[in-house]
Amino acid sequence: MTKATAVRASGLSQHQFKWLLVVPLVAFFVLFFVIPVGLLFATSFNPAKVGQVALVSDLTFDNYIRFFSRSNYLIAAGRSILLASIVSVITLIVAYPMAFVIAKTENPARNTFLLILVLASMQLDMVIRLYGMMVILGDNGLINQILQSMGLTDGPVALMYNFRGVVFGLVQFALPFMILTLVGVIMGIPPSLEEAARSLGASRRRAFMRVTLPASMPGILSGSLLVFALSISSYIVPALMGGFRVGVLPIHIYQQVAESARFQFGATIAVILFLISATAVAVYLKLGKRSSGGLA
Amino acid sequence: MVYVEFSTISKHFGTSVAVADLDLQIEQGEFFSLLGPSGCGKSTTLRMLAGFVKPTTGQIRVNGRNVTALPPEARDIGIVFQNYAIFPHMTVFDNIAFGLVERKLPRVEIKQKVDSALAEVGMTGFEDRYERELSGGQKQRVALARVLVIEPEILLLDEPLSALDKKMREEMKYWIKNIQKSVGITTIYVTHDQSEALTMSDRIAVMDQGRVLQIGTPVEIYEQPASRFIAEFIGESNLLDGTALDVHGAVCSIDIDGTTVTGRLTQNNAAIKGQAVTLLVRPEMIRLHSLDASEKPKLNGTVREIIYQGSVVRYRIQIGHQHVMVEVANRPDLARLDLDDDVEVYWNADSGVAMP
Ligand SMILES: Nc1ncnc2c1ncn2[C@@H]1O[C@H](COP(=O)(O)OP(=O)(O)OP(=O)(O)O)[C@@H](O)[C@H]1O
Ligand SMILES: [Mg+2]
């Protein structure tokens, strides 16, 4: 008996059968995303009580009022947005030329080799990679030794345990994601677009500026959005590279939940972080519509 | 006057040869087609003229100027691609204005030129649309307008109709030809579709495996193909095996199963006498009903298959151990034949082409 007849025999139409296939995905999504986020959302409206984890029926806006009335939380939110924005821009600037070279490498062996190089940096766990970066960026690290031996600086330049260090860490973390997104999009641009521009009188540079770059805008936008979301929600990089001295929202969440055991207020910060990311998605979608003639 | 000239152009990709020792001379204002099977080097030839591909050897001259080393933007050549290459992030207006902006024309003039280009291709009112809001035929019109608006010296078209459905293809064929005629631009058209090439071209170069096999007008290519390959590639052909009996200039008498027929030789070749030859006759050149007693000699055959196609009826006729397809107009004055009818098969003396 073939699959189709088996389906018919069990009294399901082809259409119903397709829906059946989606059930595991939906179940997974509900179980591991909708429910936890829903609980988190609900918890954020419970009064903050040290050590209390379970939901209670008592609802209040106190946590939100606390968040928006304390300047250190607002500053942290601003710092998070600034950090994620800076990381997105730097990652884009670094990644675009690399992605362009990879996308334009026609030799399949060379192309695969370059992609493997990019992917290789994702093979190691983030923590291990960050310890590797510390060796380079620390006060006695490689970069400081070079700067001093060249006489460019007197003492060590603080490259770690500050905002700058977190930016370094996040860029290195986000780079492969951005490159892979861009490579896909740039490879999807038909070469005839650039050729058409060239024979219409545009130099190589002009053709890039007027055609190839704008045509890769959907990739630039989705890559930046991805990096923004990854950076603003990252805990491990600010923790290790910032040494808990760069107070971004995930650090505060950790402190509320793990140190102060005020689960409810941690949930409130998490909800606000989530809303910032969601707003970014909305803004990018709008930009995407405009920049690509409604393509994205 | 020779306008575009390829001299011993060849292009190698690694060890593979895409184009070999190509010599072409294209006249000003001519509609010239490169016709050949997939992979024969048509696009590569076109792309060398456009400047996207550097020839391995040889020289390309346009209007007396050696352009071989010039970058595409310095060549003043317009190209329409198979996928049209409409810039997706620009409106129709900005697409057509692209080349004019690069030429730094004043705004007012750009607007004027784009408007008249839109009118010329019948796309007035579409200026604010994006690529994804256009049909295949409309993209084609925009692509052509974008090129014509810069008034290039040469227009290149690389299989511009292959992405369209059959009906649209027929329509655009005449439309492109008419525009080309009214603008008077020298045009090189790449296609693997013989009917497109025959319909539109002033001259056709038939290519295979990187070489030009024959250059001629559509009539010459169709009626005097230089080789069996060309005969079979262009149109439908009946190929009859026979023996050359006698050669008088370009006329050859041929024995086919005991009957003597005549055929024209593609090249004067007296040495062919006594050798096996192939006689090419197009299905529509063959007649089955005697209208004129002077059309002799006749071959005797039998109807083996009848294919009714509305405007024409096709018969497969067995002649000895060989077969020919015959296409007869469906007219009341031409009697219909039945299966297994014995018929007399004949054709005008110069409708047969003898090939070694
Ligand atoms: N960039 C390239 N690298 C390597 N080989 C190529 C390249 N471009 C073309 N070729 C080869 O050169 C030969 C001719 O290609 P070309 O594109 O000119 O053929 P074509 O006649 O246009 O065929 P089609 O009708 O399929 O478009 C082919 O064998 C093709 O594989
Ligand atoms: Mg081609």
Give the pLDDT score at A296: 37
* Residue nearest (by alpha carbon) to ligand 1 atom 8: B44
Task: Provide the 10 A C-beta neighbour count for residue A118.
Answer: 19
User: Which of A192, A199, A215 has the CB atom closest to B77's CB atom?
Assistant: A199
Chain A partners within 8 Å of B73 (Cβ) = 198-203
In a domain, A247, yes or no: yes
Sign of CA dihedral A275, A280, A282, A283: positive
Here the tokens at position B280 are 């090419």
Give the pLDDT score at A58: 87
Report CB contact under 8 Å: A196, B89.
Answer: no
Q: Give the Cα separation of A199 and B61 in Å (integer).
A: 17
pLDDT average, residue stretch B226-241: 88
Report CB contact under 8 Å: B89, A193.
Answer: no
Give the pLDDT score at B157: 96
In a domain, A6, yes or no: no
Q: Which of residues 119-158 of B touch A (CB under 8 A)?
A: 130-132, 146-147, 150
* B114 pLDDT above the threshold of 70: yes
Task: Provide the 10 A C-beta neighbour count for residue B265.
Answer: 21
Q: Give the Cα separation of B297 and A124 in Å (integer).
A: 86
Coil/strand/helix, residue B20: strand
Lowest mean pLDDT among A68-82, A226-240, B324-338: B324-338
Whether the CB-CB separation of A253 and A270 falls below 8 Å is answered with yes
* Average pLDDT in chain B: 90
Residue B19 CA: which ligand 1 atom is closest?
A: 14
pLDDT average, residue stretch A266-279: 93
Coil/strand/helix, residue B251: strand
Residue pairs spanning A and B at CB distance below 8 A: 79
Out of B11, B19, B33, B40, mutate this one to test ligand 1's pocket (max ligand atoms within 8 Å of CB): namely: B40
In a domain, A222, yes or no: yes
Give the pLDDT score at B320: 86
What is the percentage of chain A residues whose pLDDT exceeds 90? 52
String of DSSP letters for chain A:
--HHHHHHHTT--HHHHHHHHHHHHHHHHIIIIIHHHHHHHHHTTSPP-TT--S--S---SHHHHHHHH-HHHHHHHHHHHHHHHHHHHHHHHHHHHHHHHHHH--SHHHHHHHHHHHHHHHHS-HHHHHHHHHHHHSTTSHHHHHHHHTTS-SS----SSSHHHHHHHHHHHHHHHHHHHHHHHHHTS-HHHHHHHHHTT--HHHHIIIIIHHHTHHHHHHHHHHHHHHHHT-SHHHHHHSTT-S--HHHHHHIIIIIS--HHHHHHHHHHHHHHHHHHHHHHHHHHHHHTTT--
Lowest mean pLDDT among A244-253, B267-276, B346-355: B267-276
* A48 pLDDT above the threshold of 50: yes
Q: Scanning every residue of chain B, which has its alpha carbon at the shortest distance from the alpha carbon of A193? A: B85
Listed residues: CB within 5 A of ion ligand 2? B 43
Report CB contact under 8 Å: B89, A293.
Answer: yes
* Average pLDDT in chain A: 88
Which has the higher per-residue pLDDT, A4 or B209? B209
Out of B12, B42, B192, mutate this one to test ligand 1's pocket (max ligand atoms within 8 Å of CB): namely: B42
In a domain, A10, yes or no: no
State how far residue B250 is from chain A, nearest Cα, in angstroms.
47
For chain A, the domain total comes to 1
| Cα radius of gyration (chain B) | 25
In a domain, A268, yes or no: yes
Report CB contact under 8 Å: B73, A201.
Answer: yes
**Predicted confidence (pLDDT) per residue in A109-158, tens digit:** 988 888 888 888 777 888 888 888 888 888 888 888 888 888 888 888 88
* B153 pLDDT above the threshold of 60: yes
Give the pLDDT score at B33: 97
Give the distance (Å) from ligand 1 centre to CA of residue B18.
6
- Structural domains for chain B: 2-228 (3.40.50.300), 236-355 (2.40.50.140)
Give the pLDDT score at B291: 46
**Predicted confidence (pLDDT) per residue in B158-203, tens digit:** 999 988 888 888 888 999 999 999 999 999 999 999 999 999 999 9
Residue at token pair 């009118």 = B119
Cα within 13 Å of Cα(B152), Cβ side: 28
Pairing verdict, β B57-62 and B65-66: antiparallel
**pLDDT band at residue A225, thresholds of 50, 70 and 90?**
very high
In a domain, A33, yes or no: yes
What is the percentage of chain B residues whose pLDDT exceeds 90? 63
State how far residue A213 is from chain B, nearest Cα, in angstroms.
10
CATH code of the domain in which A262 resides: 1.10.3720.10
Q: Give residue A113's Cα distance to chain centre.
A: 25
Q: Give the Cα separation of A55 and A33 in Å (integer).
A: 18
Lowest mean pLDDT among A83-87, A231-235, B92-96, B299-303: B299-303
Q: Give the Cα separation of A171 and A83 in Å (integer).
A: 10
Give the pLDDT score at B211: 94
Q: Give the Cα separation of B88 and A296 in Å (integer).
A: 11
In a domain, A11, yes or no: no
pLDDT average, residue stretch A166-178: 93
| Residue B318 host element (H or E) | strand B312-319
Chain B partners within 8 Å of A198 (Cβ) = 51-52, 71-73
**pLDDT band at residue A15, thresholds of 50, 70 and 90?**
confident
In a domain, A3, yes or no: no
Give the pLDDT score at B276: 85
State how far residue A106 is from chain B, nearest Cα, in angstroms.
13
pTM (two decimals): 0.82
State how far residue A233 is from chain B, nearest Cα, in angstroms.
32
Q: Give the Cα separation of A269 and A45 in Å (integer).
A: 11
Here the tokens at position B68 are 């071989």
* A2 pLDDT above the threshold of 60: no
Task: Provide the domain limits for residue A275.
Answer: 16-294
Report CB contact under 8 Å: A204, B71.
Answer: yes
C-alpha to C-alpha distances, A1 to A4, A7, A8, A9, A115, nearest whole angstrom = 8, 10, 11, 10, 44
| Residue A224 host element (H or E) | helix A217-232
Report CB contact under 8 Å: B102, A294.
Answer: no
